[in-house]
Amino acid sequence: MELILGSFGNVLTFQNLTFMFIAMTLGMVAGALPGFSATMAVALLVPFTFTMSPTSGLVTIGALYAAAIYGGSFSAILLNTPGTPSSIGTCFDGYPMAKNGRGEEALYTASFASGIGGIIGTIILIAFALPLATWSLQFGPPEFFWTAIFGLTIISSLSTKSVLKGFTAGFIGVVIGMIGLSPIGGDVRFDFGISNLQGGVEMVSVLIGFFCIPEMLKLASNPRQEHMKVGTISGSRESIVKAFWNVFAHWGNIIRSSVLGALVGILPGAGGNIANLVAYNEAKRAAKDPETFGKGNPQGVVATETANNAVVESAMVPLLALGIPGSPPAAIIYGALLLQGINPGPELFTKNAEITYAFMTSFFVVNIFMVIIGIMAGKYIFKFVTSIPTRVLIPSILLLTIVGSFAIRNNIMDTILMLGSGLLGYILNELDFDSGALVLGLILGPIAEKGFVQGIILGNQISTETPWIIFFTRPICLVLIAMSLLSACWPLFQAYRRKKKAAAAGGAA
Amino acid sequence: MLIKKLLLALAAVSFLVAPASAADFPSAPVTYMIPFNAGGESDIFARAQQPLLEKALGQSVVITYLVGGGGAVGWKELIRNKPDGYYTAGFNLPHVILQPLQRKKAGYTTDQIKPVMLFMSTPNALVVPKDSPYKTLDDLLKAAKEKPGSVVLGGSGSQTANHLGVVRLNKMAGVNISYIPGTGTGDMISALLGKHVNGLMTYTTVAKNYANDVRTLAVATPERLAVLPDVPTFRELGYDLLEGAYRGLAVPPGTPDDVVQKLYEACKQVNNDPEFKQKMDNMGFFLVDMDPAESVKFINELTPIYKGILEELKK
Amino acid sequence: MKKGVNVDLWAGLFTLAVTGLFWMQILERDEFSFHSLIYPDRILPILGILGAVLVVKGFVSPTRKVEFCKELNTELVFTAVVSAIWVLAMDYLGFLLTSTVAMFLMLYRFQPKELRNAKSLMQFCLIIFGELAFMWLVFVNFLAVSLPEGQFFRMIGLA
């Protein structure tokens, strides 16, 4: 406790606050630009931190990372473009809100939600870093396979039009995810004879394509229309008040989403990308009005934004407690730590405890700052985007998506795929294929494959004839299987309940 | 039509106000492309080199990433860049040997990668968890022999030095240890600490940086390492296994030799910096110094060996 | 024939086409190691079955959509085609040239006919110049992203 209080002193120096402020502003800009990911922002900042003291350096990186994840909500809400996989869920309700003239409210809701999610995430990080890290080690290949399957079952409640098509879209995503180097065999496959496809399909460019391009095309069909209604009824102040109550009148949603975000976010690889969708799914399931989700329900924004900002802190758990970089940004911070001469891992809590606790407590400051900066910036960003006429907006956004998709890996193939998936996405949407489901398949497919093949190899330890048995013998696997079944069948159950209710109502009348 | 062509030509010229002669190289910033993810071994090393390299070259060095296909996407881009020394990239062995051998369309051939220098190596190390029942290499091999399939080793990637290390050890010791490739170092460390695998065939960096959690059974170097003095080499234990990854800097094919020489000298100067050397030693990176000619020779020596191993693997 | 597009049938056919396209690439099984095929071998049949079910559903109880691609008009196709050429030509002709042309075409097309005058053309140029300069500054100079300069120019430069 003393360490924690003392660390506030280490964080709250004028120099650190200045660094943090600059880093957060840059991070928000980076997050808001589609294709310019948190990972890239962190990588770019690292060289500058070498000249700083380890504490300042880490605190600055942390601030940038958190702000970049939050910044993704701007483009998700205003342009239906998730800047990173972490804000996919924000599009589902944020963009409809913006189209209905509640864009400003949605932006502020995202700020408050991100802030509180981040703070809860920080508390979890400080209180439970070690036990959670040890828990996360229990997840071996078979567990990751089932985690991915569980993630895929979200489709059943995500796809509103047709569950069958939702799963088909999900599997198409899985298949697209198989392009390129196979994670275990090391062979290049499904490359259609194009050597640039060896690198596989970059998830973020496809994400931008599927979500943003169809919207731009729809706008282009009538370039003289308005992009979104400007909220005429409520001004900025009312929007802030509404947004505040959207968030703080729903503690159940906040706690559930941030705890889910923190737990799922710890799992290396899978966690950060799907935590927001898991939280969204649960919020929808718990809601009394699940049918309004996807049509502009602020609780959808609250769930995803609290979850993805809780992920920021929990992604640090394996790194700080065990020295295992679990996510790409964490890997970069790992490198930065090494170059600073600090050995990530248990030493961080003994020899370098001062630095570590300063790093962790700095997230409190960051998240409070974030709400303030977010609300101030949100107003202007909203005004700016709505002031651009649609006919100028379309080419400008296309330019942004092209540059963004290229910048991720400096690969022209990614840009071509971005646009290709966008054009395809328009038609798929019209065929009632759900782009959220497809993208989920794309994210989880490779994780499932890795878990599956590694699991099969591991299974040889148990039995060389039936190595697949390993997927059914481990306790966590069984829990995950049960959760998957429950999640997959939930919509059926709900439909049954609704029918029964309707029948009862009919009987009464 | 003619006007259009003229305009295009003009545009082309304006794009190519490239620094002219090799004598004043470098007179513009030099790009250092990393074909792997930020935070990986190649990136950490390059980041450490960057400030010193800038001092040695008298120009800024810009690090960019072009990730994909286990490095192939980046190397493909390298070879189609202008051969003037301003576009350089990190390259890895055995990757640049194995990929063109193994893939139909790797997008480059090994001889198109023109090495500037091989400056660093990470030899293979066999590590097990600290509380593992296997105290020595013999324990591990004995268990593998008694119950085939019971020992599983993880490592980083397929057809990498780690993978080949396990394959070669299997052959030498007459055992059948399964190999599980992971997607990166962090990935495999958690598999090791979570006891999902029995051990890792990994790099010395892991043996050094996770010394608190792991026991290193053997290293695949000719002699014992100064940083791990208590760890025997495979050779000492009777298995002639020398295997590891080498990293270096490369330029597009056709780059003038005097430019390459200038880049080489800059890299060499970085390697000779005492503070840099100390830092790298501590992380488990081993500095080597192979000039352009030696590097080419080294690659040519390794190629038939790897060809043989690949054929072995296919059987 | 009832009104509307049979979206189930088309969705099913599309799924089957994707399955086929991927399946064809792993026909030469010797080229791949066991570990590279074990997963696709399970996923592709599932996708094929889902596609087949959709096709069957398309015949048995189809969902019909009257408003299929209701936004599809010449402006949309124009935007799609221009952006496709923009992206495909970028590698050869460079980022700056293709972006200038493509953005100009779009701005011109989207401008109401009666307002396409010299003043608005100037505006377009300003918008394009401003945005491209901003992008170039941020991404190339500051973030070290090497936006394509154009293979074509590189080629004649070397020749």
Which tens digit of pLDDT belongs to each residue from A14-50? 888 888 999 998 888 888 887 777 777 887 787 778 7
Same domain for B270 and B307?
Answer: yes
- Residue A475, token pair as written in the block: 């306790």
What is the Cα–Cα distance from B92 to B204, expressed in whole angstroms? 16
**Cβ–Cβ of B31/C144 closer than 8 Å?**
yes
* Residue pair A306/A114 in contact by the 8 Å Cβ criterion: yes
* Alpha helices, H only, C61-94: 74-93
* Alpha helices, H only, chain B: 2-15, 41-57, 72-79, 95-102, 137-146, 161-173, 185-193, 204-209, 257-271, 274-283, 292-314
Averaged pLDDT of chain A: 85
Looking at chain A, the whole-number percentage of residues with pLDDT higher than 70 is 96
Same domain for B62 and B135?
Answer: no
The answer to which of A63-77, B4-18, B219-233 has the lowest mean pLDDT is B4-18
Position B10 scores a pLDDT of 44
Cα dihedral: A271, A277, A280, A286 (round 10)? -80
Which residues in chain B touch residue C149, judged by CB atoms under 8 angstroms apart?
15
**pLDDT grade for A507, boundaries at 50, 70 and 90:** low
Same domain for B38 and B110?
Answer: yes
Position C49 scores a pLDDT of 95
* B38 in contact with chain A, both atoms CB, cutoff 8 A: yes
* B130 in contact with chain A, both atoms CB, cutoff 8 A: no
Q: Which of A26, A201, A399 to mutate to test the interface with C (most CBs of C within 10 A)?
A: A399
Position B6 scores a pLDDT of 46
- B152-158: average pLDDT: 87
Strands B114-129 and B214-219: antiparallel
* A465 in contact with chain C, both atoms CB, cutoff 8 A: no
Please identify, among B202, B219, B236, the residue that sits at the C-terminal boundary of a domain: B219
Position A229 scores a pLDDT of 66
Q: Which of A392, A394, A431, A464 to mutate to test the interface with C (most CBs of C within 10 A)?
A: A431
Q: Residue A218's closest chain C neighbor by CA?
A: C71
DSSP 3-state assignment of B224? coil
Q: Which residue has the tokens 């026991």?
A: B215
Residue A224 clears pLDDT 70, i.e. is over it: yes
The answer to which of A189-198, A251-260, B206-215 has the lowest mean pLDDT is A189-198
Position B142 scores a pLDDT of 92
Same domain for B102 and B147?
Answer: no
Same domain for B116 and B254?
Answer: yes
Q: Residue A454's closest chain C neighbor by CA?
A: C35
**Cβ–Cβ of B15/C150 closer than 8 Å?**
yes
pLDDT in tens, A462-473: 777 788 888 998
> Mutual orientation of helices A298-314 and A54-79 as an angle, nearest 10°?
160
Q: Using beta carbons and an 8 Å cutoff, which residues of C are at the interface with B?
A: 31, 33, 35, 94, 97, 144-146, 149-154, 156-158
Position A422 scores a pLDDT of 92
Chain B neighbors (3+ CB pairs < 8 Å): A, C
Position A204 scores a pLDDT of 83
Residue C2 clears pLDDT 70, i.e. is over it: no
- Is the pTM of the predicted complex or chain greater than 0.80? yes
CATH for B278: 3.40.190.150
Distance to chain C for B290, nearest Cα, Å: 29
Please identify, among B184, B219, B254, the residue that sits at the C-terminal boundary of a domain: B219
Residue B181 clears pLDDT 60, i.e. is over it: yes
Distance to chain B for C97, nearest Cα, Å: 9
Q: Which domain holds residue B275?
A: 29-121+246-314
Distance to chain C for A131, nearest Cα, Å: 34
Half-sphere exposure of B50 (CA within 13 A, CB side): 23
Q: What is the interface size between B and C, counted as CB pairs within 8 Å? A: 31
**If we measure between CA atoms, which residue out of B274, A43, B35 comes closest to residue C143?**
A43
> What ipTM goes with this model?
0.91
Q: Which residue has the tokens 């089957």?
A: C16
**pLDDT grade for C80, boundaries at 50, 70 and 90:** very high
Distance to chain A for C145, nearest Cα, Å: 6
The answer to which of A127-141, A155-169, A382-396, A493-507 has the lowest mean pLDDT is A493-507
What is the Cα–Cα distance from B292 to B302, expressed in whole angstroms? 15
B131, part of any domain:
yes
Q: Residue B11's closest chain C neighbor by CA?
A: C153
DSSP 3-state assignment of A352? coil
How many residues are there in chain C?
159
The answer to which of A227-241, A310-324, A353-367, B121-135 has the lowest mean pLDDT is A227-241
- B293-308: average pLDDT: 90
Please identify, among B200, B219, B238, the residue that sits at the C-terminal boundary of a domain: B219
Same domain for B114 and B132?
Answer: no
CA separation (Å) from A249 to A122, A253, A291? 21, 9, 20
> What's the Rg (C-alpha) of chain C?
24
B18, part of any domain:
no
What is the Cα–Cα distance from B64 to A148, expressed in whole angstroms? 32
**If we measure between CA atoms, which residue out of A363, A430, B194 comes closest to residue C70?**
A430
Strands B87-93 and B152-156: unpaired
Residue A185 clears pLDDT 80, i.e. is over it: no
pLDDT in tens, B1-29: 444 444 444 444 444 444 445 677 888 88
Position B14 scores a pLDDT of 43
- Residue A95, token pair as written in the block: 């963009």
Q: Which residue has the tokens 């944020």?
A: A94
**Cβ–Cβ of A47/B150 closer than 8 Å?**
no
Residue C158 clears pLDDT 60, i.e. is over it: no
**Cβ–Cβ of A220/C88 closer than 8 Å?**
no
For chain C, domain boundaries: 1-69, 71-159
CA separation (Å) from B291 to A167, B42, B109, B117, B268? 55, 19, 20, 5, 9
**Cβ–Cβ of A216/C10 closer than 8 Å?**
no
Q: Residue B8's closest chain C neighbor by CA?
A: C153
The answer to which of A157-171, A226-240, A288-302 has the lowest mean pLDDT is A226-240
Say which residues have a Cβ less than 8 Å from residue A72's Cβ, sequence separation at least 6.
A31, A32, A38, A82, A83, A84, A86, A87, A90, A308
Report phi then psi at A504, rounded to 5: -65, -45
DSSP 3-state assignment of C38? coil
Residue that wins the pLDDT comparison between B3 and A320 = A320
CATH for B205: 3.40.190.10
Residue A328 clears pLDDT 60, i.e. is over it: yes
Distance to chain C for B280, nearest Cα, Å: 26
- C54-78: average pLDDT: 86
B226, part of any domain:
no
* Residue pair A86/A72 in contact by the 8 Å Cβ criterion: yes
- Residue B45, token pair as written in the block: 């090393």
Chain A neighbors (3+ CB pairs < 8 Å): B, C
**If we measure between CA atoms, which residue out of A75, A104, A93 comes closest to residue A401?**
A75
Residue A67 clears pLDDT 60, i.e. is over it: yes
What is the Cα–Cα distance from B91 to B71, expressed in whole angstroms? 8
Same domain for B150 and B110?
Answer: no
* B256 in contact with chain A, both atoms CB, cutoff 8 A: no
What is the Cα–Cα distance from A79 to A422, expressed in whole angstroms? 14
Cα dihedral: A70, A71, A75, A77 (round 10)? 40
**Cβ–Cβ of C87/A182 closer than 8 Å?**
no
**Cβ–Cβ of C146/B31 closer than 8 Å?**
yes
What is the Cα–Cα distance from A251 to B172, expressed in whole angstroms? 62
Which residues in chain C touch residue B11, judged by CB atoms under 8 angstroms apart?
97, 153
Q: What is the largest CA-CA distance in chain C?
A: 65
What is the Cα–Cα distance from A313 to A117, expressed in whole angstroms? 10
**Cβ–Cβ of A324/B73 closer than 8 Å?**
no
Distance to chain A for B212, nearest Cα, Å: 9
- A90-95: average pLDDT: 91
Distance to chain B for C41, nearest Cα, Å: 20
Distance to chain B for A163, nearest Cα, Å: 33
- A370-378: average pLDDT: 88
What secondary structure does DSSP assign to A172-228, as a single string? HHHHHHTSEE-TTT--EES-TT-GGGGG---HHHHHHHHHHHHHHHHHHTSTTS-SS
* Residue pair A367/A306 in contact by the 8 Å Cβ criterion: no
Same domain for B116 and B141?
Answer: no
B227, part of any domain:
no
Position C155 scores a pLDDT of 67
What secondary structure does DSSP assign to C95-124, as a single string? HHHHHHHHHHHHHHHHS-GGG-SHHHHHHH
**Cβ–Cβ of C33/A221 closer than 8 Å?**
no
What is the Cα–Cα distance from A48 to A61, expressed in whole angstroms? 10
- A121-137: average pLDDT: 87
* Residue pair A237/A293 in contact by the 8 Å Cβ criterion: no
Averaged pLDDT of chain C: 86
> What's the Rg (C-alpha) of chain A?
22
Helix (H) or strand (E) run with residue B90 in it:
strand B87-93
Helix (H) or strand (E) run with residue C127 in it:
helix C118-135
* Residue pair B44/B283 in contact by the 8 Å Cβ criterion: yes
Residue A269 clears pLDDT 70, i.e. is over it: no
**pLDDT grade for C154, boundaries at 50, 70 and 90:** low
Cα torsion A195, B184, A415, B31: sign? negative
Total domains present in chain B? 2
> What's the Rg (C-alpha) of chain B?
21
Position B101 scores a pLDDT of 86
DSSP state of B69: G
**pLDDT grade for C130, boundaries at 50, 70 and 90:** very high
Q: Which of C31, C35, C149 is closest, CB to CB, to B15? A: C149
What is the Cα–Cα distance from C79 to A390, expressed in whole angstroms? 13
Position C149 scores a pLDDT of 79
Cα torsion C51, C45, A270, A260: sign? positive
B1, part of any domain:
no
Report phi then psi at B241, rounded to 5: -110, 110
Q: Which of A430, A453, A460 to mutate to test the interface with C (most CBs of C within 10 A)?
A: A430
CA separation (Å) from B274 to A340, B281, B291? 17, 11, 20
**Cβ–Cβ of B159/A186 closer than 8 Å?**
yes
* B15 in contact with chain C, both atoms CB, cutoff 8 A: yes
Residue B215 clears pLDDT 60, i.e. is over it: yes
Which residues in chain B touch residue A47, judged by CB atoms under 8 angstroms apart?
47, 50, 63
- Bridge partners (DSSP) of residue B225 are B228
Report phi then psi at B249, rounded to 5: -115, 140
**pLDDT grade for C83, boundaries at 50, 70 and 90:** very high
Which residues in chain A touch residue B68, judged by CB atoms under 8 angstroms apart?
180-181, 198-200, 202, 409, 411
* Residue pair A458/A145 in contact by the 8 Å Cβ criterion: no
What is the Cα–Cα distance from A225 to C8, expressed in whole angstroms? 32
Q: Which of B9, B15, B64 is closest, CB to CB, to C146? A: B64
Residue B139 clears pLDDT 70, i.e. is over it: yes
Q: Which of A180, A268, A343 is closest, CB to CB, to B186? A: A268
Same domain for B111 and B169?
Answer: no
Q: Which residue has the tokens 């490592």?
A: B155
ω into B94 cis (within 30 of 0): yes
DSSP 3-state assignment of B59? coil
Distance to chain B for C42, nearest Cα, Å: 20
B69, part of any domain:
yes
